[in-house]
């Protein structure tokens, strides 16, 4: 028969709570109390580590290397100061706002473009870098000099492919500082039969 560890009643109680915590069977308050107490009582952390060792050994998952007790300390000392997941959620929030903004612009652009189709003489001048970055439809029409206006990709047609490549380069360079807003606007404008007042030379990237 094995002798029990000599523990005081209080230590016994804390040890049993620690054992339950290891198994995920400690209540919320007990968990909070133990976590708070581990800052003051290193023996609790040590005990938790021993339970982990016993558990891993019974599962055949210890190696000499894992007995190097420094790993947890190394990890703890390198944890970033920021709350975990904080940066990620902030980035996700930024992305959500950007997407929402982009969607709003896309809707707005679609409405404007459709309006131009109905009223061909309405002036439509975008300001800024995007003015010189034609949509694929416009790019094709510029290349075809008045041929039928419906945009159509013909894979393998070198002239059209060149214009499309140029469009993409121009578009990427023009919308670089506006992503993802301009991407939405471009998508919305693609495929429309937007009339051109005068052929305009697309900007070089």
**Residues in contact with other proteins by the rule CB under 8 A:** 1-5, 7, 15-16, 19-26, 28, 31-32, 35, 38-39, 45, 47-68, 71-72, 74-76, 78-80, 83-89
- In the complex with other proteins, the residue whose CB is nearer, 21 or 139, is 21
- Strands (E) across 122-203 are located at none
Q: Please give the angle made by the CA atoms of 119, 139 and 104, to the nearest 5 degrees.
A: 60
Closest CB 180 distance from other proteins, rounded Å: 21
Which DSSP category does 26 fall into? S
- The span from the CA of 171 to the CA of 135, in Å, is 8
- In the complex with other proteins, the residue whose CB is nearer, 89 or 96, is 89
- In the complex with other proteins, the residue whose CB is nearer, 54 or 99, is 54
Closest CB 9 distance from other proteins, rounded Å: 13
- Of the candidates 125, 117, 129, the residue with the CA atom closest to the CA atom of residue 191: 117
- In the complex with other proteins, the residue whose CB is nearer, 20 or 116, is 20
Greatest Cα pair distance in the chain:
99
- Of the candidates 126, 131, 129, 201, the residue with the CA atom closest to the CA atom of residue 166: 201
Residue 9 tokens, joined: 């009643």
- In the complex with other proteins, the residue whose CB is nearer, 18 or 105, is 18
Closest CB 43 distance from other proteins, rounded Å: 12
- In the complex with other proteins, the residue whose CB is nearer, 1 or 198, is 1
Closest CB 16 distance from other proteins, rounded Å: 4
Residue 49's alpha-carbon distances to 22, 29, 59, 78, in angstroms, are 9, 21, 15, 19
Closest CB 67 distance from other proteins, rounded Å: 6
**Angle between helices 42-58 and 9-22 in degrees, nearest 10:** 50
- The span from the CA of 14 to the CA of 149, in Å, is 80
Closest CB 4 distance from other proteins, rounded Å: 6
């Amino acid at each position: 028969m094995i002798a029990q560890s000599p523990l005081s009643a209080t230590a016994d109680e804390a040890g049993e709570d620690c054992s339950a915590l290891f198994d995920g069977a400690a209540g919320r308050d007990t968990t909070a109390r133990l976590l708070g107490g581990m800052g003051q009582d290193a023996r609790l952390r040590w005990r938790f580590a021993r339970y982990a060792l016993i558990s891993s050994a019974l599962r055949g998952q210890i190696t000499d290397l894992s007995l190097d007790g420094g790993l947890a300390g190394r990890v703890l000392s390198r944890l970033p100061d920021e709350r975990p997941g904080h940066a990620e959620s902030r980035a996700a929030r930024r992305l959500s706002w950007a997407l929402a903004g982009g969607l709003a612009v896309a809707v707005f652009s679609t409405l404007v473009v459709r309006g131009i189709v109905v009223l061909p003489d309405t002036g439509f001048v975008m300001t800024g870098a995007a003015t010189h970055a034609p949509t694929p439809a416009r790019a094709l029409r510029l290349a075809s000099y008045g041929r039928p206006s419906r945009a159509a990709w013909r894979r393998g047609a070198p002239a059209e492919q060149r214009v499309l490549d140029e469009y993409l380069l121009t578009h990427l360079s023009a919308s670089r500082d506006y992503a993802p807003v301009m991407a939405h606007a471009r998508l919305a404008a693609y495929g429309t039969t937007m009339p051109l007042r005068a052929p305009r030379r697309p900007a070089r990237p």
